[in-house]
Amino acid sequence: MEYQTLKTLCGLPGVSGAEEPVRYEILKQIEGHCIYRVDPLGNILAFKKGRREPAQPMLFSAHMDEVGLIVTYIEESGLVRFAPVGGIDRRVLPGKAVKIGGIPGVIGSKAVHLKSAEEKDKAPALDALYIDIGACSREEAEEKVALGDRAVFCAHDCEMGDGFLRARALDDRLGCALLIEMLHGELEYDAHFAFTVQEETGATGAKTAAAQIGAKIGIAVETTTACDLPEVPPEKTVCALKKGPVLSFMDRGTVYDLALYRQALETAQEQGIPCQPKAGIYGGNESRSVQAAGNGARVLAVSVPCRYLHTPSCVAHRSDVEHTLALLQALNGAFGG
């Protein structure tokens, strides 16, 4: 796995509906390794020949977008009001550094000594938060930002401890990096690849991508929340780092194809690849859109376990990334025949 690619992707802004910087980088990375086109919505649709033609067309997909913020109003004071784009726990917002385009800012709220006892015990309401970009008036702020501009968290990638990776937007730049790695290598069977837009706001891109491609088997390459943390009971842990890729049998958006799920578990065991079921019915991803597009498709989700999703500091582990890549390559062979 080429981790510089992942670091580059995580450093680019790509809030839902504004994925252009991520798309341009992916196009640079896959040039010469496949045939591709960009559809009107902004999805990258790629195709790579393998050693053989599969019995059924298969699709590997990953979304380019990330959660973030969008500018909704500018106060007379120059402070910027915003709304979340995608699911963000508002408890993580106060005090965070952000960028609106190239403009730095910080998310502010009422000073703690001015809060009531009730306010101190609750996450601040969104309308109690704002972005301070250092402007002293609406006119000054409007010279720098506009309504509809997206903001992303400012965060630096790093490696921690023994193989842990920390970065913004591992959801789902990790999936994008894994697809790029597959396109750079050799495939047993021909496969379609989709780098999709607007997953965090309803999985819109995957629906149009899947409808155009018409694959019969769809594999969403994702990250999923690992709760292997203190005081979390075993039945709520969902999955854990350093135990391999996560396979879902059901989540809040999709009932996965049982035969594909079982075949993936068997393939992992046969290949000696650590693998874990997602222990719970939580979350969701673009599988639901792939499943329902066009004439429909059988779907599977293969995810890298990741702590602190949708925050400025997602954490994954190198071993899980490597084992996820190995499983995806193995599934290309297993599902192609």
Active site residues: 199
d(CA 280, CA 259): 19
Pair 174, 8: CB distance under 8 Å = no
CA 254, 275, 210, 23: dihedral to nearest 10 degrees? 120
Q: Hey, what are 218's tokens?
A: 């769809």
Q: Hey, what are 61's tokens?
A: 């997909």
Q: Hey, what are 232's tokens?
A: 């979390």
- The residue assigned the tokens 């970009």 is 133
Give the per-residue SS3 of 152-181.
EECCCCEEECCCEEEECCHHHHHHHHHHHH
Q: How far is CA 195 from the centre of its chain?
A: 11
